[in-house]
């Protein structure tokens, strides 16, 4: 009888990692991804992808986190779960080559990526895949990448993927991201010698810490009570523009979801967006919400499914320091109205601005931890929709998630090919069948619309209607 090899845990799961694994199901796949199309240089090598696959087979070696798999792949929510190194790492399983019927267009690319994102990752292996997709018109190709959110978050994923790209078109030797060893940490400077008396907490320091914690708790309690009171008794709300959990209307976005996905993309010039936002007295984030709101209102009207009450969106709030290296979770959340009950685009945009301003005002005076705790309180009702049979029956905590993630600010290249765009793919959840994420890249803002194929017909129209919404405001 063959002895089972004992594996040493290489990395422990934090509570958020475990939550993403516990939320995994046949219909709710907790994986995020990216679609990256590339344009060829004048001297493009037509055999690049074939040669690249040969290179991968011969020389590729995976480093952490890309060589880590789950210790208990058959019991995702195990309290003993952890990451272990995959001693039998098979690079050809993770790196795949696909092709569209030439010449492939953007619609065919979107259909293929929708299908690829509908397949669950294999938890008996490191949970990530890369697909090289050739056959696009003009000699272009695309890279589709997906990874389980428990292994890598979106912020860290963008940063690590960028390691495989170069700022120079002449660089043809940059290795694949998974074969780049982790950068060694700089040695810490020795701590100055302190006497024991200096290390002993004084009564004054302890009291200051206690006052800070009590102040944070009081602030959160006050803000939550104001928000909840506004939801239960709108006439008593301090600010009618402030939205709360469970204040969202029921909609076709908040039904039981299936496994299959639809994916659509749109791209806007950042300069144009900033000019339109400034023209109406809003921020770039406000305008993103307005474009999503205009597109959703038009689509739901066509489907005869527009609620009388305004849709609301949960907006993640990044609270990382500027020099944070990434990894882990450091986000809060606010809820804003999309004002989809208002027909006039300018009046709708004004209502969105008022709602986001009210939500951001709630965070004033909070510490970083306080913002994260408040976000957890706002998202707590989300758990109700994850109870079997609850989706579509209970009032949703909000209607959808809209995220804005900063991306690379300089043009990037892969083996001489120019990265044209970076389109994100996020996670539809049970009872929340649409997720919209935007990522900036150089002078463009890239939208990724991902949703349940069965629950939201004609999702691709959202990309077209978002462009029309910008024209209405401009």
Neighbours of 117 (CB within 10 A): 22
Report the alpha-carbon distance of residue 383 to residue 404 in Å, rounded: 23
Output the pLDDT for position 181: 81
Cα–Cα distance list, 65 to 49, 324, 459 (Å): 24, 18, 34
In this predicted model, what pLDDT tens digit does every residue of 106-158 receive, in sequence order? 999 999 999 999 999 999 999 999 999 999 999 999 999 999 989 987 777 77
| Helix 461-473, helix 284-302: angle, nearest 10 | 120
Q: What are phi and psi of 26, to 5 degrees?
A: -65, -30
Report the alpha-carbon distance of residue 298 to residue 320 in Å, rounded: 36
Residues for the chain: how many in total?
474
Nearest to 125 by CA among 68, 77, 55, 72: 68
Unique residue bearing structure tokens 């959340």: 333
Output the pLDDT for position 216: 46
Q: Which helix (H) or strand (E) holds 102?
A: strand 95-104
Contact 167, 160 (CB under 8 A): no
Output the pLDDT for position 217: 47
Q: What are phi and psi of 138, to 5 degrees?
A: 80, 20
C-alpha of 170 from chain center? 32
Q: Dig out the tokens for 133 from the structure.
A: 């997709």
Output the pLDDT for position 315: 87
Global confidence as pTM: 0.82
CB contact set of 393 (below 8 Å; sequence gap of 6+): none
Nearest to 33 by CA among 426, 446, 461: 426
Output the pLDDT for position 3: 41
Nearest to 449 by CA among 298, 311, 251, 263: 263
**Which residues of the chain carry a pLDDT beneath 70?**
1-7, 183-240, 246, 318-332, 363-393
Q: Which helix (H) or strand (E) holds 203?
A: helix 203-232
Contact 95, 52 (CB under 8 A): no
Nearest to 227 by CA among 214, 217, 236: 236
CA 8, 9, 14 angle in degrees (round to 5)?
A: 170
Report the alpha-carbon distance of residue 227 to residue 244 in Å, rounded: 6
Q: What 3-state DSSP class applies to 66? A: coil
Output the pLDDT for position 326: 45
Q: What 3-state DSSP class applies to 147? A: strand
Contact 270, 278 (CB under 8 A): no
The single residue of 94, 117, 148, 149 carrying the catalytic annotation is 149
Active site residue 149: yes
DSSP-assigned letter for residue 429:
B
Contact 426, 157 (CB under 8 A): no
Output the pLDDT for position 334: 83
Contact 346, 280 (CB under 8 A): yes
Domains and their CATH numbers in the chain: 11-179 (3.30.559.10), 219-412+420-473 (3.30.559.30)
Q: Dig out the tokens for 411 from the structure.
A: 């043009």
């Amino acid at each position: 009888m063959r002895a089972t090899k004992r594996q040493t845990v290489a990395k422990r799961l934090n509570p958020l990692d475990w939550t993403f694994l516990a939320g995994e199901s046949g219909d709710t796949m907790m994986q995020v991804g990216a679609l990256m199309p590339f344009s060829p240089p004048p001297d493009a090598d037509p055999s690049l992808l074939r040669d690249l696959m040969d290179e991968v087979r011969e020389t590729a070696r995976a480093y952490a986190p890309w060589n880590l798999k789950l210790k208990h792949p058959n019991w995702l929510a195990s309290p003993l779960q952890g990451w272990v190194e995959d001693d039998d790492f098979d690079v050809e399983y993770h790196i795949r080559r696909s092709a569209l019927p030439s010449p492939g267009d953007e619609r065919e690319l979107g259909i293929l990526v929708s299908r690829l994102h509908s397949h669950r990752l294999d938890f008996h292996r490191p949970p990530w895949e890369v697909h090289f997709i050739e056959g696009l018109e003009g000699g272009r190709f695309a890279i589709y990448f997906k990874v389980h959110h428990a292994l890598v978050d979106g912020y860290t994923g963008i940063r690590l993927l960028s390691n495989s790209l170069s700022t120079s078109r002449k660089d043809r030797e940059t290795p694949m991201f998974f074969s780049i060893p982790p950068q060694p940490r700089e040695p810490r400077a020795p701590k100055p010698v302190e006497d024991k008396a200096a290390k002993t907490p004084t009564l004054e320091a302890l009291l200051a810490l206690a006052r800070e914690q009590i102040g944070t708790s009081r602030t959160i309690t006050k803000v939550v009570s104001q928000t909840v009171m506004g939801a239960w008794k709108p006439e008593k709300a301090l600010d009618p523009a402030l939205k709360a959990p469970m204040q969202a209307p029921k909609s076709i976005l908040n039904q039981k979801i299936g496994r299959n996905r639809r994916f659509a993309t749109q791209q806007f010039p950042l300069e144009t967006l900033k000019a339109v936002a400034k023209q109406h007295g809003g921020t770039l984030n406000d305008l993103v919400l307005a474009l999503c709101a205009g597109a959703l209102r038009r689509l739901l009207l066509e489907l005869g499914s527009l609620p009388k009450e305004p849709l609301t969106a949960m907006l993640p709030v990044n609270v990382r320091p500027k020099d944070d290296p990434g990894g882990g979770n450091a986000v809060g959340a606010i809820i804003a109205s999309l004002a989809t009950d208002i027909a006039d685009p300018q009046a709708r945009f004004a209502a969105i601005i008022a709602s986001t301003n009210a939500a951001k005002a709630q965070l004033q005076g909070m510490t970083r931890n306080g913002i994260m705790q408040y976000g957890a309180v706002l998202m707590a009702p989300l758990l109700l929709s994850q109870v079997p049979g609850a989706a579509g029956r209970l009032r949703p905590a909000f209607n959808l998630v809209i995220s804005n993630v900063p991306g690379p600010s300089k043009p990037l290249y892969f083996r001489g090919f120019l990265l044209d765009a970076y389109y994100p793919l996020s996670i539809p959840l049970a009872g929340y069948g649409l997720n919209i994420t935007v990522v900036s890249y150089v002078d463009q803002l890239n939208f990724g619309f991902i949703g349940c194929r069965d629950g939201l017909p004609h999702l691709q129209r959202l990309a077209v209607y978002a462009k029309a919404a910008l024209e209405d405001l401009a």
